[in-house]
Amino acid sequence: MISEKICQHSIFISVGSNINREQHIKSGLDAMHRAFGDLTLSSVYESKSVGFDGNNFYNLVVQATTEHSIAEVVNILKNIEAKNLRTRESKKFAPRTLDLDLLTFDDVIMQVPMELPRAEILYNAFVLQPLAEIAPEVEHPLVKKSYLTLWQQYDKSQQQLWPITFTWSASRQ
């Protein structure tokens, strides 16, 4: 009898919204739970929009495991965004209903067809702080420092964010 070993990959996903924030984030979490199973969530943080004038964002980081490939995960995330009426404007910095970015996939380092780990881990507080919260001892694949160490060394005067009360339960589906 031949047995196939199923490979589970650890993934971290950045989640953000500044349009009907609570509704779209809960919808995105529901869809990710259906796609990936159990999710580990950071606290949800509110912050001012970066790069444009707009409503404040809600942001968090989600950890999950998956058997899917990188391309399949990205496709799943894009489909979830589309179902939440995410439009792809030509401007990089614009309001959005739901923004789901694959931050890391195991310890994969690549530039093409996408960047992993995503550079924003190191320069956006709304990504690094929640990542340090749920994975403090995990090392960034490139800089070889834990996310907690990176957060401790981060210049917190660059971006202000604050935790908010947010409740989501996978059982509410």
Q: Residue 47: which of 117, 130, 115 has the closest Cα?
A: 130
Instruction: Identify the pLDDT of residue 172.
Output: 46
Q: What is the pLDDT of residues 163-172, one digit of tens each?
A: 999 999 875 4
- With a cut of 70, list the residues of the chain below it in pLDDT: 1-5, 51-52, 85-94, 171-173
Q: Residue 28: which of 71, 59, 52, 70 has the closest Cα?
A: 59
Q: Is the separation of the CB atoms in 116 and 105 below 8 Å?
A: yes
Give CA–CA dist 44/118, Å, rounded: 20
Domain-by-domain residue ranges, the chain? 9-172
Q: Is the separation of the CB atoms in 31 and 83 below 8 Å?
A: yes
Task: Name the fold adopted by 9-172.
Answer: Alpha-Beta Plaits (3.30.70)
Residue-wise over 11-25: b if at least 16 C-beta within 10 A, else e?
A: bbbbbbbbbebeebb
